[in-house]
């Protein structure tokens, strides 16, 4: 069973049926635009964002003009279709934040019931809500009442293997009028360890009429096709693999269409890291150097002598110097290949 060409979130048609997962500290506006430019990604999602923070800054609009550009919810027109992901445990606050996101021009709002991080869970946010399905219903009901754009939710299979609630969560979503759901089939207790049990995605798909987005352990185009085949899900969502392989959505589309797909060369890796660093500098992001160091590990994954490159980047304290380091490194490596 190939990946569907399209899927719908309410009236919104998403094509292709692929979704960039929300990742804290990763999927900011610069990274999303970088991924969008590679092709093949149907829906973008913001970093998961505190509902209290959204209200406190009015979606960033109460910040200075310069700071507005660097909020979690800032986005550019080329990122459409794009969904804002929120987390929180107060239904009233969540609804107000959802309304702000709608007013900002997002195509959809997504509620995070999956984040396993302790500082989020301890306040009953993210996967903390999985132990209180009554609260889950209150949150989604409050948000649905104020929105005219689609509302979705992303959740984990349960708190642990003894407290699986994915089918119950899907039923709540359907009964409360949500337009799609995304399941990461690990439990909160698993965190990001162990294996994602795709049979849980299949179980949810069999019990709901809503579009189901499958997430977890998709590392290659073959994995994406296999997930759809094994679970019947309507779309695939990819997170961590995108960081080290920004071309994965393009690869999936090519694999579905032709059975083969693009394999990035050393020149392609040079281009992608140079492009991303240039975009960071042009944006004037306050943490551009930190982002450069963070992504050095991702984008140089599997590159010959990549450890040496990462060491040099991490030792530098100047963005322009980091770009020179990257150019010099790849020029040297490409010349070495030519000599061979």
Residues counted in the chain:
340
Q: 228 near 1, Cβ under 8 Å?
A: yes
Q: 82 near 29, Cβ under 8 Å?
A: no
Q: Look at the block and give the residue holding tokens 């049926």.
A: 17
Distance CA 155, CA 164 (A): 11
115 catalytic per annotation: yes
Q: 283 near 292, Cβ under 8 Å?
A: no
Q: Determine the 3-state secondary structure of 183 from DSSP.
A: strand
Exposure b/e, 227-248, CB count within 10 A at least 16 = b? bbeebebbbbbbbbbbbebbbb
Which residue in the list 41, 101, 115, 233 is annotated as catalytic?
115
Distance CA 152, CA 37 (A): 25
Strands 82-87 and 44-45: parallel
What residues are annotated to the active site?
115
């Amino acid at each position: 069973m190939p990946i569907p060409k399209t899927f719908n979130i309410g009236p919104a048609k998403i094509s292709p049926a692929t979704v960039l997962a929300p990742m804290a500290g990763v999927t900011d506006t610069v990274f999303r635009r970088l991924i969008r430019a590679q092709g093949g990604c149907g829906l973008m999602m913001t970093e998961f964002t505190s509902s209290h923070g959204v209200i406190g800054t009015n979606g960033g609009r109460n910040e200075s003009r310069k700071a507005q550009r660097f909020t979690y919810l800032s986005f550019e027109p080329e990122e459409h279709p794009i969904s804002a992901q929120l987390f929180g445990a107060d239904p009233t606050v969540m609804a107000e934040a959802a309304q702000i996101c709608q007013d900002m021009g997002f195509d959809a709002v997504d509620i995070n019931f999956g984040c396993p991080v302790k500082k989020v869970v301890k306040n009953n946010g993210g996967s903390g809500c999985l132990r209180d399905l009554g609260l889950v219903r209150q949150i989604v009901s409050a948000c649905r009442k104020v929105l005219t754009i689609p509302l979705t939710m992303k959740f984990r299979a349960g708190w642990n293997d003894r407290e699986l609630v994915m089918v119950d969560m899907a039923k709540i979503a359907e009964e409360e009028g949500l337009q799609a759901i995304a399941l990461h089939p690990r439990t909160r207790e698993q965190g990001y360890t162990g294996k994602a049990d795709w049979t849980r995605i299949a179980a949810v798909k069999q019990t709901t009429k809503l579009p189901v987005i499958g997430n977890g352990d998709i590392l290659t185009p073959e994995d994406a096709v296999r997930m759809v085949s094994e679970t019947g899900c309507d779309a695939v969502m990819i997170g961590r693999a995108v960081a080290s392989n920004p071309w994965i959505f393009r690869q999936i589309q090519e694999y579905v269409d032709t059975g083969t797909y693009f394999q990035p060369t050393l020149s392609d890796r040079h281009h992608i890291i140079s492009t991303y660093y240039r975009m960071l500098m042009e944006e004037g992001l306050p943490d551009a150097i930190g982002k450069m160091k963070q992504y050095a590990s991702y984008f140089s994954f599997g590159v010959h002598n990549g450890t040496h490159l990462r060491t040099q980047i991490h030792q530098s304290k100047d963005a322009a110097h980091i770009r020179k380091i990257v150019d010099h490194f790849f020029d040297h490596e490409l010349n070495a290949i030519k000599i061979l």
